[in-house]
Amino acid sequence: MSDKKKKNKNSNLRVFLTILLVVATISVMIKLNRNFSFSVKVPLTFQNLSEDQILKSASANEVKVTGKASGYDYFKYRFFSQQFPIDLSQLQKAKGKAFYVFNPEDDALQGSLTGSDITAFQPDTVFFDLDRNYEKQVAVIPDYQVDFAAGYGSLEGFKIKPDTVTIRGPQSEVDTITRVYTDAVRFEEVRNSVADSLNLRFASNIPMVEIQPKKVLYSLSVDKFTEGSVSVPLQLINVPANVTAKVFPKRINVIFNVNLSNYELVKSSDFKVVVDFDQVDDSSTSLTPEVKEAPVYVRDIRLSESTVQYLLVK
């Protein structure tokens, strides 16, 4: 008898719960079918920016929308994304400024709140800072330091490729830029040739301007060097008319560094050292000789004498 009463009790509970669930469902559906006032923040998306323009900034990236919508639509809004697109090709312009004015009567939301009755936007206007998308070529300045091991050096030096790149961005920013730099690289006790790539950067942070390409290749050809010297006759230039000029000494030693593979190629006739009489100073009897010509494969050129004595005879 007790088991039968227990079964009846459980059956009555199930019926009660079913009725309660049906009533609650009907109540919710009735409420969802009504219109509700809503106030939501909607992200803005910007579309149709022309290729010759760049968007530097917008006065707002979201808008607060108030209005009325059915409970069904508002319920869906809580679970699905919403957005408001602005066509940048259709902006209004006045006094050099571009802007978009929201219109509650004509503007409509997309997504779950499509068809809702909008009463207000806050802010009611979005301003845009647009600039010309401009590009130009600028030089690349390598930031490097090389310390060679004793007896080693590089004839060509530190080389980068390419040595110019394209920068692209707002013309107001691009016009202020004349060069870009590589990341810093340091070498110590160098004995062997090296090659790799380096990222490019601006002297300061300029986020809206891009560099193309973003990297350059570098190379440093290293060779064993030795010191050499040759005796070269001094050549006199710009000697005054009707005057005989003499210098002492008549020959001078040219001292240089050269890589071992080219050492045997160096000849005295490869160099031209001149004494320029346009540099004559009446208060002095000496002139400074200058190296005017030298082989491309020698470096660190210096002269054994910093000055020579001269004599003018009429």
Q: Please provide the average confidence, as pLDDT, over all residues in the chain.
A: 85
| Cβ partners under 8 Å of residue 300, min gap 6 | 153, 256, 257
How high is the pLDDT of residue 39? 76
Q: If we measure between CA atoms, which residue out of 217, 212, 215, 214 comes closest to residue 160?
A: 217
Dump pLDDT digits (tens) for 22-69: 555 554 454 545 566 777 788 898 999 888 888 888 999 999 888 776
Whether 79 has a pLDDT exceeding 50, the answer reads no
* Top-level class of domain 33-123: mainly beta
pLDDT over threshold 80, residue 1: no
Quickly state the pLDDT bin for 284 (edges 50, 70, 90). Answer: confident
Cα–Cα distances in angstroms (integers) from residue 265 to residues 4, 256, 292, in the given order = 120, 13, 19
Query: Are 252 and 303 a contacting pair, CB within 8 Å?
Result: yes
Amino acid present at 288? T
DSSP letter for 168, please. Answer: E
With 60 as the cut, is the pLDDT of residue 116 above it? Answer: yes
pLDDT of residue 283 exceeding 90: no
Domain 225-313 CATH (choose: 2.130.10.10, 2.170.120.30, 2.30.31.70, 3.40.50.2300) = 2.170.120.30
Strand spans (E) along 83-163: 84-87, 92-94, 97-101, 117-122, 125-141, 144-148, 152-153, 158-161
Measure the CA–CA gap between 53 and 32, rounded to whole angstroms. Answer: 46
Tell me if 158 sits within 8 A of 144, measured CB to CB.
Answer: yes
Q: What is the pLDDT of residue 28?
A: 47
Whole-number pLDDT of residue 293: 96
Q: Specify the pairing of strand 152-153 against strand 194-201.
A: unpaired
Q: Distances from the Cα of 127 to the Cαs of 42, 59, 60, 257, 294, in angstroms?
A: 17, 5, 8, 65, 64
- What confidence tens digit (pLDDT) does each residue in 231-251 have? 999 999 999 888 899 999 999
The kind and range of the H/E element at 208 are: none
- pLDDT cut 70: percent of the chain above it: 81
Q: Work out whether strand 164-170 and strand 125-141 pair parallel, antiparallel, or are unpaired.
A: antiparallel
What is the structure's pLDDT at 84? 84
Task: Please tell me the predicted confidence (pLDDT) of residue 17.
Answer: 63
Asked, colleague to colleague, whether 33-123 and 133-221 share their fold, the answer is: yes
Distance (Å, whole) CA 35 – CA 118:
12
- Range scoring the smallest mean pLDDT among 73-87, 208-222, 235-249, 274-288: 73-87
For CA atoms 20, 22, 27, 31, the dihedral sign is positive
Where residue 267 falls among pLDDT bands split at 50, 70, 90?
A: very high
Residue 194: its pLDDT value, please?
96
Percent of the chain with pLDDT over 90: 54
CB 220 within 8 A of CB 187: yes
Tokens 């050269």 sit on residue: 258
* pLDDT, average across residues 145-152: 93
CATH number of 133-221: 2.170.120.40
For the entire predicted model, the pTM comes to 0.60
In our burial notation (b when 16+ CB lie closer than 10 A, e otherwise), range 293-311 reads: ebeebbbeeebeeeebebe
Given a cut of 50, whether residue 186 has pLDDT beyond it is yes
- The dihedral over CA atoms of 110, 113, 117, 118, expressed in degrees to the nearest 10, equals -60
Domain segments of the chain as ranges: 33-123, 133-221, 225-313
Q: For residues 234 and 251, give the distance between their C-alpha atoms in angstroms, rounded to a whole number.
A: 5
